[in-house]
Amino acid sequence: MRIGEFVVQAGTTKDTVRHYEDLKLIESLRPDGRREYTERHLEDFSVIQELKSYGLALSDIQAVFEWKRHGGCGSEELILFAEKVLERQLTLLQEKEARLRESRQKLEETLREVKKAKRLFP
């Protein structure tokens, strides 16, 4: 399929597809220099979007795709690498969640104090 059809099916833009091609996340060039997209490209795009939804940086996603290219989709090395990347991201999200919880608690306390001070005025 051509890029126009691809972006409609993927629900994205040509700029995003071209950016992912620049990053070697999607490789659509045929030997004759024309671009052609397949169901595999749609699947790869879906994986990219899923990994991004977990908060992974495109550089981490590039590394996962590089492992996939060298070892195959179900290779033990890819699975171990993906596990490390996902565990690291989970830890980062847990730390961020703890910081957000602490900020929320401080904000709630400050708001209680402001409301208390407000009652002092007639």
Span 75-96, pLDDT tens digits: 788 888 889 999 999 999 999 9
pLDDT digits (tens, 9 = 90+) for 40-55: 999 999 999 999 999 9
CA distances from residue 60 to 31, 108, 121 in whole angstroms, order as listed = 28, 36, 55
Write phi, then psi, for 24 (nearest 5 degrees): 65, 25
pTM (two decimals): 0.73
Percent of the chain whose pLDDT exceeds 70? 100
pLDDT of residue 75: 76
pLDDT of residue 73: 76
Percent of the chain whose pLDDT exceeds 90? 70
**Does residue 7 surpass a pLDDT of 90?**
yes
pLDDT digits (tens, 9 = 90+) for 14-28: 999 999 999 999 988
User: How far apart (Å, rounded) are the C-alpha atoms in residues 5 and 10?
Assistant: 9
User: How far apart (Å, rounded) are the C-alpha atoms in residues 79 and 69?
Assistant: 13
Write phi, then psi, for 4 (nearest 5 degrees): -60, -45
Least confident among 3-7, 10-14, 23-27, 72-76: 72-76
